[in-house]
Structure 1
């Protein structure tokens, strides 16, 4: 019998990711191929996810060895794949990243990547992620190390800079946007594919295809049709939801900034307005977005965080119930498919399938700084990820990416060194706040709000 491949999930208490991966493995009929180690520092959450995984296995009669522990060092030796989905400070920390900047007039629809909230999150996330990477470096140096935690770019850049571990950042953003554009065009799921380059949550899709054919004529026809009533449609919107409900067809008015970029430059920003606007704060002063506030009526982040609380409560209830797993659970798992199983297959079998990944720029985007972590297309081979040469981008978008890469470099330096002045420089370079005095006050408030998770600033 072939050797089982060990997958270590660090942050296994994620309300979405662990269930999706286990479901993918079970439904693919690959129970003989894998063993899974679940790691979470919260014993209560770890117990719940272990129970839930056990129910999933029992539901389909699958036999996969599962280990659960709060100490990752006990399961990392022999790992073939290590996956991180941690969130230091959890949803309360995320809420603080949103609420503290609001007191300073800064409104964010996500707050996990850029702007003060994203920088604040990086201060908490990078030191623990470096500790994990050093354990991988020491205990399973040949394992493939994947990170799903945000801020993706800053975390992966820090690990690449401070260790020898070739971490790869993975995100469902590009796949999600392909699905959204398919819905926009009224085509079947999976028919839209793309090529793109940029930074996580601001990857510019330079080519879009429908069943292998150039999608541009279809897109422009649809945009022209909807543009006639665009202003009235936008004016009539009371709220921009975080995700267009599954029963509705996405429209130009749901992501007017992103479709405007497409009309102006011929490339589409991924992951649509909710994320993209955070890279352009100069265009949305004081959080103003078509007469609404970002993070409030426009992509209400508080509702998104509350949804995470709801998913977590449902996971606990389901895990602790004496009843078996409901069969409809398989059709209603929350969140997005992350393609991890397909990626692992391609790496193990030299399948050379192409995925969107976050890796260093080794020349695949020659107009961007070398070694900057960028999101690009790469082939998953037996020798690792081999990037595809990226398309050119319009100069204004290149300059935007360069500016954000500079802010990421300062963010990484601040998180590693615990230097308050460098954190201030990062916030000013990011552009979410431009007045040094206001930036200093905001920085101090963020550091105070998260002091329990910031030993490097003590």
Structure 2
């Protein structure tokens, strides 16, 4: 029987969606679902969601829940990772402390000082997960959803290269889906290829019936000026390829926008947006828990299937699928640094996840990706080499941070964030320098 372990199962909304997708496949309706979280109340809620979802869908999985990660990994074939180290409290620090220095962020989970420190407090837990998996379930696949995606996948490749891991993100899919809605073209009729790095990949191919959809998008943007008031529409018009992450995300990976009041107004950039989202996630957790206690049915209807259930189904059944995944760059994108995590098309079946070679990105796209990658490389190096100076160097080369703050302010900001997150960081990095 297939065993699927959920790490961070207490992320209840995401867990509910994944469970609904998994149990909707006829071949996966009797799998074993092994739930793990470090919070007893959230774990209890996740187990209740799993049982309610199975009941509503008429599925008969075996469901277990444990606060012991190693017990949850026993016998696992697939391990879905959706942890958030530090939870909402850490997110608040990632926004409030930089804001004191005048540094604006929107999501702060991928790049910039928010992404750097989220990575640094996640790496020790990832290392423990990888070590446990290699000992307890060495043939299992780690399906990672935890951000910062590229840094986490790069860290795992460096720290535990024997682990079978792929990073899964829905940004390419939903970018194509939403552009299709704008243009009146059903998603299933669009042929597309995205490549780059997670949250800053590019639609290299975007076609319908063999013809590029970009001219139609150009015409739409000419007709509707309000559509141009978004960061990634602005990026597309200047760079020629559409970026595959939201404008909120994209704005903080670049040096052009967030430090300028006029650009924030022109492009309607919601500064600090993830504070609202994170607080909303906490509220939704409590609402879901109350709904379960009241015996109300869960919403198990799904418009689309997340990647992890598709990957699991393809590996179990052999059904061939093509997704976009995050893997180490071993001759996949020729003009990005070798080894660092890239997002490329991948084929999935009985044999696992097999990334496709893309070749060279358009030079303007690769140039932006390389600045993105530099931040991640230095952050991973800080953890692997136990070098606290590299934390500060990562922040110094971050495009948005460098465009906003002096080097002395960047140094002071990093020292303050180290102090704020001290107990969650690797021991060697808990120092001010």
Q: 1:96 to 1:298 in 2, by over 3 A?
A: closer
Aligned equivalent of 2:401: 433
- Whole-angstrom CA distance in 2 between matches of 1:72 and 1:425: 34
Aligned equivalent of 1:152: 149
Aligned equivalent of 1:121: 118
Select the residue among 41, 60, 64 that pairs with 1:63: 60
Aligned equivalent of 2:307: 339
- Whole-angstrom CA distance in 2 between matches of 1:295 and 1:309: 26
Matched, 1:361 2:333: no
Q: Residues 315-354 of structure 1 correspond to what in structure 2 (within 5 A)?
A: 315-321=288-294, 323-325=295-297, 329-331=299-301, 337-354=305-322
Aligned equivalent of 1:247: none
- Aligned-residue offset at 1:170: 0.4
Deviations 1:72-118 (A, max 9, x none): 11131221101100000111211211111111111111000001111
Q: Residues 274-353 of structure 1 correspond to what in structure 2 (within 5 A)?
A: 274-280=248-254, 282-286=255-259, 288=261, 290-292=263-265, 297-298=270-271, 300-321=273-294, 323-325=295-297, 329-331=299-301, 337-353=305-321
Aligned equivalent of 1:171: 169
- Whole-angstrom CA distance in 1 between matches of 2:268 and 2:66: 36
CA contact (8 A) 1:182 1:191 kept: no
- Whole-angstrom CA distance in 1 between matches of 2:236 and 2:158: 34
Deviations 1:37-57 (A, max 9, x none): 000010110011111211222
- Whole-angstrom CA distance in 2 between matches of 1:336 and 1:408: 31
Aligned equivalent of 1:208: 206
Q: TM-score, normalised by structure 2?
A: 0.91
Matched, 1:265 2:239: yes
Aligned equivalent of 2:416: 445
Query: What root-mean-square deviation, in Å, do the aligned CA atoms of Structure 1 and Structure 2 show?
Result: 2.3
- Aligned-residue offset at 1:400: 2.0
- Aligned-residue offset at 1:378: 1.2
- Aligned-residue offset at 1:272: 2.9
- Whole-angstrom CA distance in 2 between matches of 1:184 and 1:78: 45
Q: 1:199 to 1:21 in 2, by over 3 A?
A: same
- Whole-angstrom CA distance in 2 between matches of 1:18 and 1:315: 12
Task: Say which is worse superposed, 207-216 or 107-116, in terms of deviation.
Answer: 207-216
Aligned equivalent of 1:11: 8
CA contact (8 A) 1:200 1:358 kept: yes
- Whole-angstrom CA distance in 1 between matches of 2:64 and 2:341: 33
- Whole-angstrom CA distance in 2 between matches of 1:123 and 1:94: 13
Aligned equivalent of 2:194: 196
Q: 1:293 to 1:84 in 2, by over 3 A?
A: farther
- Aligned-residue offset at 1:33: 4.2
Aligned length: 425
Aligned equivalent of 2:371: 403
CA contact (8 A) 1:296 1:302 kept: no
Deviations 1:214-270 (A, max 9, x none): 3123222212222xxx2xx4xxxxxxxxxxxxxxxxx333x2x32233233331111
CA contact (8 A) 1:295 1:301 kept: no
- Whole-angstrom CA distance in 2 between matches of 1:56 and 1:178: 29
Q: 1:178 to 1:23 in 2, by over 3 A?
A: same
SS of residue paired to 1:205: strand
Task: Say which is worse superposed, 291-300 or 16-25, in terms of deviation.
Answer: 291-300
Aligned equivalent of 1:181: 179
Q: 1:12 to 1:293 in 2, by over 3 A?
A: farther
SS of residue paired to 2:393: helix
CA contact (8 A) 2:120 2:426 kept: no
